[in-house]
Structure 1
Amino acid sequence: MQRRAFVTTASVALAGAFQPMASVWAAGPLKVAALLPLSGPAGLFGPSSKACAELAVEQLNARGGILGRKVELVVGDAGLPPADAGQVALKLWKGEGAQVFIGMHDSAVRGALVGLFKGQVPYFYTPVYEGGECAVGTYMNGETPQQQLEPAIPWLMTERKIRKWYLMGNDYIWGRNTNAAAKGYIAKAGGTVLGDEYVPFTVDNFDSSLARIRDSGVDAVLVSMVGGSSVSFNRAFAGFGLADKMVRIGSLIEENTLAGIGFQNAKNLYSSMGYFANIDTPAAKGFSNVYFKRFGEKAPALNDLAESVFEGFLMLDAIAKKANSLKVADMDPASEGATYDGPRGPVTMHARHVDQNIYVAQATDHGFRVVKTFPHVSSGQTCKV
């Protein structure tokens, strides 16, 4: 392990071997607000995200906090509509004195918070997202479509002899931008898109869409849908008898979504993401072991979105150390080249986005199995720092 040996230090902390005394802290506590989906459509990710935030704080404090300050975690619900989530953030910021924000929530809420913070407070946004966010003081740890699909699509086309595609997405900025990017990667690899369509989150009957997919004669379907919408579509896809005939790949199908789809409905289903719970590396295995030791065998399932919160804390620590400051004016230039080793592998920030490993996994009867790793993939973003 390198300088952030989180597995070892977490084990020590959990064993109680290293308990910092209050007198060793350099200054007052550093309040970090984690804005997580504790309610709403993404509420199923709330418990695991909160657990990952708690684990990150325990580990940071076990090795001296951030810049010598003990980290104090406060949590707010970001599963609300953007205006309401903004009010939650405002109360944590101005009312409770939060000095850093880490957010795992949808892009609409992110837009509201960027407008609220206006670069006055460091804000780490951790989940998969559509790309393009360049606001000052906003640091993006999540995967972009360029990372998830530019290497994965040509690989899958070669591996499964795919040429003709159909693109399904939710009618939302992430779904549309992801599919727009995918069209370029498909064309560059010699493929053709024969159809694409976008449905509201509220749609739960996909018969007409599935009939069009069936009749199009495509080899593969890109599923850019979220949560329950993805579950309903993929279950219906299998019910239509298409799972045996076509390959599916998604960039937001993680362990919870796969459980909802059901292994029996997941034949020929792939996912491309920065983290899966069963990544076969010492770092990922160590993280999983510590997580379940801390929260028990019945802990909320690990998944990409929840684990991204843990990564957000690691990046906060890396940038703060490099800047020797928690001021945005110091952290922005220091973010360029900030790096750490975490459960996903080595992560480096450029243009306030991260280069990271991308894993392609195939669904099996026992969950996801990683079948291809693309090391240290660039985010493809060009924000000026």
Structure 2
Amino acid sequence: LPVFEELNGLLFYPVQYEGEESSKNVFYTGAAPNQQAIPAVDYLMNDLGVKRWVLAGTDYVYPRTTNKILEAYLKQKGVAAEDIMINYTPFGHSDWQSIVADIKKFGGAGKKTAVVSTINGDANVPFYKELGNQGVSAEDIPVVAFSVGEEELSGIDTKPLVGHLAAWNYFMSVDTPENAAFIKQWHAFIKDPKRVTNDPMEAHKIGFDLWVKAVEKAGSTATDKVVKAIVGLETPNLTGGIAKMLPNHHITKPVLIGEIQDDGQFAVVWQTEGTVPGDAWSDFLPGSKDLEGDWTAPINCGNYNIKTKTCLGSAAK
């Protein structure tokens, strides 16, 4: 981030992230927490009746910040502290026996329990395997993951994961003409009909399409001209809706919950009506709820305090 800001470059960031920033030089086309984590918790709470929560993550900034937001949100919804279990493990963690035993015990208190997983990368395979080894099924304690998509499932044994959930803004299985055309193009390009698409690929396509429209509108690729031109522009997403670039440099996205199938694809079991605008600053953290990003005049600031009417940091130069 400091490099892009110092050199006045542009970054289109297509992966879900923890929020809590809005930079003039970054366009956040992946999900903010309110476009993935919060709706996933709402689904578990409202549709599955979950009362106890395991927030399990890999030990780095995205899971820690996301879980901080989720913990505050759950408590605001009336969930007691003793009904929230938080656990962090290192990258590539492989010995899940005692942690899964703890989850199983936590879920055995007579209240419907779910795992909200920000576990990243290779650690997911032994985690789900151990759930299977200890007889924890998706019906008993469902896991909803934020970092497990089609690419992660390709090439691994998906049996232990079947029935568990993931929250994204796109799935390869979505049946729209736009998605069918994109998959066809991708397979022709990669020359491999078995290769999968995934959520960050859709987010990247959206970002590229919006950049092209901004360049055409501005008549220039110059950073400041593109930044000015891009806010308010729209482009079709691959799920049948429209992605719009907002003044806080986030976009509008649908939220989908998918159930993992044995072929490594997802069956959509729930989705939002229409799209959700990305929120740069969480409404559930005390230091953030009064902040908003707005890179249009007259505010021109990524962290503007709406109460004090002041810009707290990296305003546009």
Shorter-chain TM-score tier? 0.7 to 0.9
Q: Equivalents in 1 of 2:176, 2:73: separation in Å?
A: 29
Residue 264 (structure 1) aligned with residue 156 (structure 2):
no
- Name the counterpart of 1:45: none
Q: Deviations over 1:279-320 (max 9, x none)?
A: 122211221122223433445321122333322211211222
Q: Equivalents in 1 of 2:35, 2:188: separation in Å?
A: 32
How do 1:33-72 and structure 2 match up within 5 A? none
- How many residues in Structure 1 have an aligned counterpart in Structure 2? 273
- Name the counterpart of 2:251: 354
Q: Deviations over 1:103-127 (max 9, x none)?
A: xxxxxxxx4xx42552522221111
- Name the counterpart of 2:270: 372
Contact 1:234 1:261 in 2 (8 A): no
Q: For 2:182, give the aligned amino acid.
A: F
Contact 1:360 1:373 in 2 (8 A): yes
| Residue ranges of structure 1 left out of the alignment (5+ in a row) | 1-110
Asked which structure has the greater RCO (Cα within 8 Å, sep 6+), the reply is 2
Q: Equivalents in 1 of 2:243, 2:119: separation in Å?
A: 26
Q: Equivalents in 1 of 2:204, 2:165: separation in Å?
A: 23
Q: Equivalents in 1 of 2:159, 2:4: separation in Å?
A: 45
Q: Deviations over 1:41-80 (max 9, x none)?
A: xxxxxxxxxxxxxxxxxxxxxxxxxxxxxxxxxxxxxxxx
Cα displacement (A) at 1:189: 4.3
- Name the counterpart of 1:283: 178
> If each structure's helix is expressed as a fraction of its own residues, which one has the higher value?
1
Cα displacement (A) at 1:263: 2.8
Identical pairs, percent: 24
| Residue ranges of structure 2 left out of the alignment (5+ in a row) | 281-291, 296-317
Q: Equivalents in 2 of 1:138, 1:119: separation in Å?
A: 12
Match of 1:212 among 78, 97, 102: 102
Contact 2:56 2:119 in 1 (8 A): yes
Q: Equivalents in 2 of 1:318, 1:238: separation in Å?
A: 48
Contact 1:169 1:198 in 2 (8 A): yes
Any idea what SS the aligned residue of 1:353 has?
coil
Any idea what SS the aligned residue of 2:36 has?
helix
Q: Equivalents in 2 of 1:125, 1:336: separation in Å?
A: 16
Q: Equivalents in 2 of 1:262, 1:188: separation in Å?
A: 38
Match of 1:156 among 44, 49, 58: 44
Q: Deviations over 1:338-383 (max 9, x none)?
A: 2111324311111111111111111123321112221211111132
- Name the counterpart of 2:224: 329
Quick one: structure 1 residues 334 and 356, their matched pair in 2 at CA, closer, same or farther if it must change by over 3 Å?
Answer: same
Q: For 2:293, give the aligned amino acid.
A: C
Match of 2:149 among 225, 247, 254: 254
Cα displacement (A) at 1:211: 1.5
Cα displacement (A) at 1:261: 5.7
- Name the counterpart of 1:384: 294
Provide TM-score, normalisation by structure 2.
0.79
Residue 203 (structure 1) aligned with residue 113 (structure 2):
no
Provide TM-score, normalisation by structure 1.
0.66
Q: More displaced, 281-290 or 352-361?
A: 281-290
How well do the aligned residues superpose, as a CA RMSD in angstroms?
Answer: 2.1
Match of 1:342 among 231, 237, 249: 237
Q: Equivalents in 2 of 1:261, 1:224: separation in Å?
A: 19
Contact 1:119 1:135 in 2 (8 A): no
Q: Equivalents in 2 of 1:188, 1:280: separation in Å?
A: 36
Contact 1:226 1:252 in 2 (8 A): yes
Quick one: structure 1 residues 189 and 363, their matched pair in 2 at CA, closer, same or farther if it must change by over 3 Å?
Answer: farther
- Name the counterpart of 2:306: none
Contact 2:45 2:51 in 1 (8 A): yes
Q: Equivalents in 2 of 1:151, 1:178: separation in Å?
A: 13
